Structure 1
Amino acid sequence: MSRHMSKSAAPDGGSPPGAPRRAFRWKRLVVVLGSLVTVFAVAVGGLFAWLWTGAEVSTVGRTPFDNALAIPPLADSTVEKDGTRVFDLRMQAGETEFRDGKRTETWGFNGSYLGPTLRAERGEKVRVRVSNRLDEASSVHWHGMHLPARMDGGPHQMIAPGATWTPHWTVDQPAATLWYHPHPHGRTEEHVRRGLAGLFLLDDEKSARLPLPKRYGVDDLPVVVQDVRFDGARLAGDRGMLQNAGFLGDRTMVNGTLDPYREVRDELIRLRLVNASTARTYAFGFPDDRDFSLIGTDGGLLERPAAMDRVQLSPGERAEIVVRVEAGERVMLRSFPQENYGGFWQQRFGGGDDSFDVLELRAARQLRASPELPTALAEPELP
């Protein structure tokens, strides 16, 4: 046995002096770290729960629909000697009073927000003189139109401030609901959200003969749906935390009208639905789950009406539906939650759980009788 005893060794062979103190320090450190981890976990969990709860948006039953729906005017046009129909569009900045007494800086075509509805027939030659009075370059893309690439208005055909671009083409496709909007590289979302968009309706001989609701603004209503969020007096464009789908607003407007209603006086009402939001997908239907007839999509009229109670539209898509209303009733067009967003995260933070009251239809006490929808609409055409 060694004649020398280690200074750290206990005389009786037990724990060395100071060991209980070190063990106490370790226990205290573990307790402190455990407490910090618990507090952090609770804080993170609380933050996530707050974000999760706050990410769901609904305007159902919360909005007084007291603003008459604006109907975009039909664009004026002239017809040249060779039969070419000529339209004039002017991109410009302005101010729009979406809310009483509050003016918002906006952009529009031939006005402060959105643009007029262009209308042409199949076989017509059209020319559109587009002038840019903004302080930055933009473009105008004819969404859904069959036309030469050099007339398409994509990112490769920018219109400089003060310049004019004049595309021309012959309409050669079936009757359909199209729309126009800017398409600058990296700025499309912003330019559309600020108000640069409008409808382009195409007609043909077949659609003209069908007994469909077709009086523009009467029983044939344009319904350009956008989601918006106001930051004071301006239209916000920032994305929410944990959102990766793009800009998502907290309320909707139709044709630039917040909380819109429309008085209707016919039994059948045709709604030309356009999803002009930049990232949000809608599932349109009615609270009582009444059936409506889908008669047309992006490519034009269907072969026959299709009865359904929901129609889902992603950004840029169009659908033409016909709904029957009863005398004196109020019918709400609503966007419902959707379960096909790919997962619970995207479902909640990408807008899948959201719901909106979009447009109230107010039927008159006496309605004009509408002819029944035809059983056949249009024959499909091969590209």
Structure 2
Amino acid sequence: MRLTIRSAAHIILSATLATILTGQMVLAQNSLPQDLSLRDAIQSTLTHRPELRAVAQTYQSSLQMRRQAGLIPNPHLFYQMENLRPDMDFGQGIDIYAYVNQMWEVSGKRGARIATAESGVHHSQLTSEQQKRVIELAVAQSYWDALRLQYLRILAEQSVGYYREILDYHAKRFNEGKIAAVDLLRIRLEEARAEANMESSRLMEAEAKQRLAREMGLPEAGNWRLSEPFEVLNPPKEPPTVVNPENERIEVKLAQQAIDAARANLMVQKAQGRPDLDTAFGYKRTGGLNTMIAGVQMNLPFFNRNQGATAAAKFDIQANAATLQAVQQQSASELKLARMSYETWRRQVSERYRPLLDQAVDIANISLAAYREGGIDLLRLLDAEKLRLDTQSAWVDALGNYHQSVLSLEYANGLEP
């Protein structure tokens, strides 16, 4: 019995240790940053954003309305007895009418309804696509902004490492009595400023990633490492070969669809001014005799042919046509501005900021080597490092503007990010 108890205790202890080790491994894995590409961020957004689920349900609703529009009117059943008296012969003295009435939409109302419902389906499709592209654009913009700040945070951490190395070097020289205390204090001040800048960079990066999580439909940001290559100047996607690529934008397609909807409404209003045909067919029993009855009924459009509503629908078509023209002009202007912005930032990054960055890095490295050899003083060394940091920050901001310009150009061309 004693051996069994010890064995059981050993098993329980082993299981407990295994559980603890497994939990530590899981925590360690969860603490590691997870790579998040732009495509992963967009795919996660399409799953989590409730607005996209809402427009999907609206589209399904429009499909059901199109189904409803194609149904024909239900027939009417009439059953009527006349000449009912307490002391009458039920079989010979009463009149019985039983007939079915069916309306036939010869006016074109059914076709107009179907056209209107089809227009509603198309509108729901475009609205869903517009919502999707707007959300994707916002996610992509937030992603590149967060990646820019992630890059600046890395540069800030590198700067802190640089100043700490310089501080250690000067502390040793101060202890050897080779430099004055004021030089050591100056280095400590610069190192403290670099640490403060690093903390600010970390805060801004965390805020940007939280904004990205909000655009993705998540309550909080994960431990992400944004993995898109920030320094690579990926060109924008090429639009399809069309004469006016700006017309591929959803805004233009929605304006065009509004004209189609107005035309469908004109069909409806014209059909409302035309009569439909009501037919009746049934059975009649009078005085013990069985007969058949048939009839036709229709409105005579002498006075009201829905003239006002028809004229109003025509003006709606003209108004939507003018709106389409305005949207096309605005889209063309935005496309031109997006191209100008893209070309400017591409040229700035590749032809101006990249050479300046290389020169600033060379100056900083040469100044550090010269300072250690006693060729320059401390102030010139710090100025060279400050120049490198300022140039790197300007280069990162220019890269961020380049990536944002690529997104704007793709959206202006009617493309997804």
Higher relative strand content: 1
TM-score by length of 2: 0.17
Higher-RCO chain (CA-CA 8 Å, sequence separation at least 6): 2
- Provide TM-score, normalisation by structure 1: 0.18
Larger Rg: 2
**Which protein is richer in helix relative to its size?**
2
